[in-house]
Amino acid sequence: MKNIAVFASGNGSNFQAIIDAVQAGTMTASIKILVCDKPDAFAVERAKAAGIDYFEFRAKDFTDKQAYETEILAKLAEYQIDLIVLAGYMRLIGSTLLSAFEGRIINIHPSLLPAFPGKDAMGQALRAKAKVSGVTVHYVDAGMDSGPIIAQETVDIDENETIETLQEKIHKVEHQLYPAVIQMLVSKMREEVKNG
């Protein structure tokens, strides 16, 4: 069984979709820990409800990114984490985590990257009057939403689309796509171990 850590900063609806997939048996990974940089985030409540350990911190309590990432790294080692899954984690990952987990950190983004990277991707798409947006799952590198793409799915934008209706459509796709991609990656990791 591969161990995953989920990083979230907010509501954690993708975190919930991953929990649901594990509970339904469609994902054969173990969610060992939630890492959250906003102690009042609802994602923490989801972890508590599912009996998942969590580590919460405030970046401002540390001297710099390296300091809090070093602490996170120690936690991940404790839980023998194989894969880091970013699910609405609103911080750029620094070199401390990137070098320790190279090729083993993934993120989900609510647009068809490279279009509309960064914050407010849905708002960006609407303001650009885009006809299509979507969801991208990608590996994390040092840039902003710039790592190699693993999977994408499109979402049509209607003429009278609002941020709320687009969000609903995108979440629906995210909640299917992300658990499926994670399952694909953990299966691949298991194969690699088996084939040595």
Q: State pLDDT tens for residues 100-117.
A: 999 999 999 999 999 999
Ramachandran area for residue 49 (φ above 0: left; ψ -120 to 50: alpha; else beta): alpha
Domains of the chain with CATH codes: 2-194 (3.40.50.170)
Q: How confident is the model at residue 76 (pLDDT cuts 50, 70, 90)?
A: very high
Beta bridge partners of 56: 36
CA dihedral 128, 134, 140, 143 (to 10 degrees): -10
Q: How confident is the model at residue 192 (pLDDT cuts 50, 70, 90)?
A: confident
Cα distance between residue 31 and residue 5, in whole Å: 6
Determine the longest span between alpha carbons in the chain, in angstroms: 53
Structure tokens that stand for 119 in this block: 């914050």
Question: For this structure, is 109 an active site residue?
Answer: yes
pTM beyond 0.85, yes or no: yes
Instruction: With a cut of 90, say whether residue 1 has pLDDT above it.
Output: no
Tell me the pLDDT tens digit for each residue of 42-69.
999 999 999 999 999 999 999 999 999 9
Cα distance between residue 17 and residue 183, in whole Å: 13
User: What DSSP designation does 51 have?
Assistant: T
* Catalytic choice (109, 138, 171, 175): 109
Structure tokens that stand for 136 in this block: 């991208």
SS3 48: helix
Structure tokens that stand for 130 in this block: 């885009």
